[in-house]
Copies of this chain bind each other. A is one copy, B any other.
Amino acid sequence: MTQYFTEDASVETVNARMGKNINPRLALVMASLVKHLHAFAKEVHLTQAEWDYGIDFLTKTGEICSGERQEFILLSDTLGFSMLVDAINNRRPSGATENTVFGPFHVDGAPELPMGSTICLDGKGEPCLFQGRVVDLDGKPIRGARVDVWSDNADGYYDVQQPDLQPKWNNRGVFVTGEDGAYSFVGIKPVSYPIPDDGPVGQMLAHLGRHPYRPAHMHYLVTAPGFEKLVTHTFVGGDTYLTSDAVFGVKSSLIAPFNQVKDGNTAWVSPFDFVLTPV
């Protein structure tokens, strides 16, 4: 071990500095982080001006953060890092519904509603019936599953982004399944929207030649005793941004049919079954 820092032994020098009695998981994670960060700088021969730019970028990312804005999460999302962590931690058997990113717009405590209720409270958008069943890997209905749903409104904003313009709990609700495992509710056919792009992450996307849009989707958090928590979306088939989601959230298994209805109370119907994995 070199005592003093050298370019060649940079990783070993830094990691050898850790104390002997620290949390072993912390030691493992930090040693790997240092190794990969140093490998990055060496691989690209990072210049001093680029380091300056990086420090300034992180500083500006910190400056725009507030109670309502989390730019570091946006950064993680747009680099595919959030989806990767989600994927690593939610490997599921074939047939089980896949996870995707939770996103920043879930709110605890949405009202529990009777099956079939309408969650769209602002009268905007094209009404859509969402329906299906919550089942186990054998297709057996799961009773008592909580189906917590949320989406943007027809203008592309969640209620919490427009507290003065939208009714509280607009396009949100919780539905609990009975014996048949079935769920149904009336929302709107979701619309695509940009992630907040007036900060450093938006500038990064512009420099990378990327747009800030997410394809239209309905959020689901499905929980049931004895089963793994499912955090997912269903995506509107045919959406322009399906193959270029700014946060890489789309999986092909999560693209749902949205069928136009001729005679009915809603303009659209979107069937989708959720298959939960036992814990």
Using a CB–CB cutoff of 8 Å, the interface residues on chain A facing chain B are 3-7, 10-11, 13-14, 17-23, 26-30, 32-48, 50-51, 55, 58-59, 61-63, 65, 70, 72-73, 76, 79-89, 91, 207-210, 243-244, 248-252
Contact = CB atoms under 8 A, between A and B. Distances in A.
Nearest to A76: B55
A98 to B, nearest CB: 10
Nearest to A39: B36
25 contacts: A4-B243, A4-B252, A5-B248, A5-B251, A17-B210, A17-B248, A18-B208, A21-B209, A22-B208, A32-B40, A36-B36, A36-B37, A36-B39, A38-B81, A41-B81, A45-B89, A46-B88, A47-B85, A47-B89, A48-B85, A51-B81, A55-B72, A59-B70, A59-B72, A62-B62
Contacts of A51: 76, 81-82, 85
A248 B88 contact: no
A209 B18 contact: yes
A251 B45 CA distance: 21
B29 A33 contact: no
A146 to B, nearest CB: 20
A86 B52 CA distance: 12
B41 A88 contact: yes
A83 B10 contact: yes
Contacts of A10: 80, 83-84, 87
A89 B250 CA distance: 41
B88 A7 contact: yes
A40 B34 CA distance: 9
Nearest to A58: B72
Nearest to A102: B48
Given A10-B83, A59-B65, A4 B44 contact: no
Given A36-B37, A58-B61, 8 more contacts: A22-B207, A32-B40, A37-B40, A41-B84, A48-B86, A55-B73, A55-B76, A62-B72
